[in-house]
Every structure is written in C-alpha cells, then in structure tokens.
Chains A and B, each alone.
Chain A
Amino acid sequence: QVQLVESGGGVVQPGGSLRLSCAASGFTFSHYSMHWVRQAPGKGLEWVALISYDGNFKYFADSVKGRFTISRDNSKNTLFLQLDNLRPEDTALYLCARVTLTFDWLLPFDSWGQGTLVTVSS
C-alpha cells in the first residue's frame, strides 16, 4: 500500500535552516508529482510547494518563495523540502502528499503522510 513517511523536523532558531524528507513506498514514485502542505498549530491546511514527477517543474506558495526549495531523488523514492531563513510563522506540521494520477500535477491529493513538526523559536 502507499506509504509516505516524513522526517527531519525539529526546533530551530529564526534565520536557521532545516531539511525535511518524505520517504515513499508502495507505488512508482517517479511517476507521481508530489506536494508539501503545512498546518500551523490550531490553524488549517496551507499548501507550500509542488514538484513534478520528473523534478523539472516546481512551484511555491508566495509565503515561502525564495526561502524554501523542493527537490526529489527518484532513485531513492524520496522527496525533500529545504527550509532556509526560517521565521516563527513557519512553525507547523509539514506533510507530504501525492497526487491522484501519474504524469500530471493539477490534481487532488490522494495519499498523505502524518507529518513532521518544525518549530522556529529563539
């Protein structure tokens, strides 16, 4: 079955960096576009970033553009999110998600991980 497991979260000071990972299994990872979504404490879901199935197309929410980088290693079935210049408002549970169909990205998300917590605090 499809499984997505995030890791890499932690406590970091403002201005610091973290690298999140999402290990995928149970499907052909290289055929699916992937997303990162976050949920701040007590708040709703916020879309963060998209990467196409081949890694050639990437898109970011305005709130993280220029500070976050998304990448993937299809040989290791792993998705990454590099978080730089972190701010307190980036504190959230970060979840990875897979789209419903292969070789496209304007699609809903049918599989999600349970998230990794990032806390930005001095």
Chain B
Amino acid sequence: QMTQSPSSLSASVGDRVTITCQASQDITNSLSWYQHKPGKAPKLLLYDASILQTGVPSRFSGSGSGTDFTFTITSLQPEDIATYYCQQYDNLLFTFGPGTKVDIK
C-alpha cells in the first residue's frame, strides 16, 4: 500500500512544492513519479526514486529510500498543473499512491 500527502495543494507560480509518498513496507528505491493531466497519457518523471527521466525539466526532483519518499518541484510553473502519482515496482502489485492534485493559487 502507498500513501501520499497532501491529496491536493494550491501554490503560486515560482513556489517550491513538495509531495510525500510512504510505502507500507520496504521497497528499497523502486519508486517512480508520474504526472497526469486530464485527457492525456500519464508521463514518467522520475524512477528509482531520484533519477530524472530523459527530457524532464530539472525543476522536478525526488529523494528517499525504504519506505519514505519525497517529490519536489523547485519552481512551480503553470504547465505543472496536474495530478502527481507515486508508484512502487518492488513487487508485483505495482501499487500507485492515491495522487496529489496540484493547481495554481
């Protein structure tokens, strides 16, 4: 099971945004983060907890291992409005977190 917080947040352009994700058991670093916009395919942003997928802006970052993980947008941009999901791939359940909806204040 994966938990995420907050479930939603509202921030200003340029703000630092942080989302946390917690696993119910040790998943080492087998964690990815996705961005999902309505009507679009989900987009892989980070994998292995902290590795940026090719082509993803460097304002996105991730950290953590074991059970506790953090996702950060260092300077929120208007195009970052989306729902963000963490997902574990340490075991065959490939569980997603419940998502964090990010919008602009």
Please report A residues at the B interface, Cβ cutoff 8 Å. Answer: 4, 35, 37, 44-47, 50, 59, 61, 95, 97, 100, 106-115
Q: How close is B45's CB to chain A, nearest CB, in angstroms?
A: 10
Interface residues of B (CB under 8 A from A): 30, 32, 34, 36, 39-44, 47, 53, 83, 85, 87, 89-99
Judge whether B90 and A106 touch: CB under 8 Å: yes
B98 & A44 in contact (Cβ 8 Å cutoff)? yes
Let me know if B89 and A44 touch, CB within 8 A: no
Which of A44, A95, A107, A111 neighbours the largest number of chain B CB atoms within 10 Å of its CB? A44
- Whether the Cβ atoms of A108 and B87 lie closer than 8 Å is yes
Residues on A with beta carbons closer than 8 Å to the beta carbon of B93: 47, 61
A106 touches B89 (CB 8 A): yes
**How far, in Å, is B28 (CB) from chain A's closest CB?**
11
B42–A100 contact, CB under 8 A? no
* Partner pick for B44 among A47, A108, A115, CB 8 A cutoff: A108
Q: Which residue among A4, A110, A113 has the maximum number of chain B CB atoms within 10 Å of its CB?
A: A110
B41 close to A95 (CB less than 8 A): yes
Is A106 in contact with B98, judged by CB distance below 8 angstroms? no
B residues near A37, Cβ cutoff 8 Å: 96
- Tell me if A35 and B94 are in contact (CB < 8 A): yes
Provided the pairs A112-B41, A113-B41, A114-B40 are in contact, do residues A44 and B47 lie with their beta carbons within 8 angstroms?
no
Contact B32 A108 (CB under 8 A): yes
